[in-house]
């Protein structure tokens, strides 16, 4: 069961927390487990109230956080367990279930914060789908296909990126940690739980686990090219979904072969050959400044000219 499978991961997280910096989703917000006797049907206490408030924020149907572990709380806990692959009846909550509830709450808060940041970063921007002739005139020649500097914020680039974060590796970058000693995409470092957005309309043709990529989603676009989104902590889009720009694909994570939380973004041509993601993005999601409001016209005076 999923909850039991994550017990080891939680234990390791607890050990590592004392020695290294960890994601905010795991660093904060998990209160100490009060004990099984405090969390079972029929009891009433502050720990139950705290758990009820968390479940309500997560969207479970509990009328009010009153501290009474009654039928509504039992149903909510049972549903939470079921959605995490467990078949517990919800009449009690153990330490693993307690931790899972508050981890889920912190992750949801991280997603909500990331959604807001993404919206604020892009609300003044219009993404223009360019044809080759337009691209030749709109995109400065020196910028065509040019890789962004490592350490650059993705929000500062003249084309939209699928996630707000820091560029940590670029296309064709040399390095021993990559197959073929070259990097096949762009890496954008961001905290676990940061939302990944579609920037071009596309259909999900793959949603699953793929070796080094970890949790991966692949979108196919109208011109036959594909875009790949790897290392996610959670896949939200499903195979067969047609996504529009701004739709959520998944959440940033560190699944697969990776040394930290980030999005690996790469693009393929119609022959499934890896291509420069910058060129692909530039001709599809170039940021266009909103047109300025026209200056008000100076009213023409209706008075008669003065005679000399």
pLDDT tens string 183-207:
899 999 999 999 999 999 999 999 9
The answer, yes or no, to whether residue 96 has pLDDT greater than 60, is yes
The answer, yes or no, to whether residue 138 has pLDDT greater than 90, is no
Please tell me the predicted confidence (pLDDT) of residue 13: 40
CATH code 2.70.70.10 region(s) in the chain: 126-288
CATH code 1.10.101.10 region(s) in the chain: 2-120
The answer, yes or no, to whether residue 47 has pLDDT greater than 90, is yes
Distance separating alpha carbons of residues 180 and 301, to the nearest angstrom:
74
Q: Which residues pair with 220 in a beta bridge?
A: 203, 226
Pick from 103-117, 120-134, 182-196: least confident: 120-134
Please tell me the predicted confidence (pLDDT) of residue 298: 54
Q: Summarize the confidence of residues 273-296 as an average pLDDT.
A: 79
Q: Which of 134, 288, 280 is nearest to 202 (CA)?
A: 280
103 near 25, Cβ under 8 Å? yes
Distance separating alpha carbons of residues 47 and 36, to the nearest angstrom:
11
Please tell me the predicted confidence (pLDDT) of residue 5: 44
- What share of the chain has pLDDT > 90, as a percent? 58
Q: Summarize the confidence of residues 235-246 as an average pLDDT.
A: 95
pLDDT band at 119 (very low <50, low <70, confident <90, very high): confident
pLDDT band at 129 (very low <50, low <70, confident <90, very high): confident
The answer, yes or no, to whether residue 238 has pLDDT greater than 90, is yes
Q: Which residues pair with 209 in a beta bridge?
A: 215
CATH architecture of 126-288: Distorted Sandwich (2.70)
Helix ranges restricted to H, 160-239: none
Please tell me the predicted confidence (pLDDT) of residue 233: 93
* Run of H or E including 285: none
Distance separating alpha carbons of residues 59 and 46, to the nearest angstrom:
20
Q: Summarize the confidence of residues 274-291 as an average pLDDT.
A: 86
The answer, yes or no, to whether residue 51 has pLDDT greater than 60, is yes
Residue 55 CA: distances (Å) to CA of 61, 93, 101, 107, 232: 8, 13, 7, 13, 24
What's 2-120's CATH class?
mainly alpha
pLDDT band at 179 (very low <50, low <70, confident <90, very high): low
């Amino acid at each position: 069961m999923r909850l039991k499978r994550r017990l080891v991961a939680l234990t390791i997280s607890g050990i590592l927390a004392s020695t290294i910096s960890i994601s905010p989703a795991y660093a904060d917000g998990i209160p100490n487990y009060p004990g099984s006797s405090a969390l079972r049907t029929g009891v009433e206490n502050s720990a139950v109230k705290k758990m009820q408030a968390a479940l309500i924020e997560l969207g479970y149907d509990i009328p009010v956080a009153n501290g009474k572990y009654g039928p509504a709380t039992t149903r909510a806990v049972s549903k939470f367990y079921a959605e995490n692959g467990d078949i517990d009846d919800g009449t009690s909550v153990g330490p693993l279930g307690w931790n899972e509830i508050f981890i889920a709450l912190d992750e949801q808060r991280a997603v909500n914060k990331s959604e807001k940041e993404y919206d604020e970063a892009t609300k003044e921007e219009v993404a223009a789908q360019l044809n080759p002739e337009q691209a030749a005139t709109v995109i400065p020649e020196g910028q065509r296909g040019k890789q962004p500097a490592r350490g650059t914020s993705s929000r500062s680039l003249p084309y939209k990126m699928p996630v707000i974060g820091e560029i940590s590796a670029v296309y064709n970058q040399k390095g021993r940690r990559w197959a073929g000693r070259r990097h096949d995409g762009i890496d954008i470092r961001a905290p676990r739980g940061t939302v990944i957005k579609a920037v071009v309309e596309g259909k999900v043709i793959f949603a699953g686990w793929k070796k080094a990529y970890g949790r991966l989603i692949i979108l196919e676009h109208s011109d036959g090219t594909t875009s790949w989104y790897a290392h996610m902590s959670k896949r939200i889009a499903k195979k067969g979904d047609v996504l529009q720009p701004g739709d959520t694909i998944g959440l940033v994570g560190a699944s697969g072969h990776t040394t930290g939380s980030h999005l690996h973004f790469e693009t393929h041509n119609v022959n499934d050959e890896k291509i420069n993601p910058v060129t692909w993005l530039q001709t599809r999601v170039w940021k266009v400044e909103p047109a300025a409001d026209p200056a008000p016209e100076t009213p023409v005076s209706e008075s008669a000219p003065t005679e000399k």
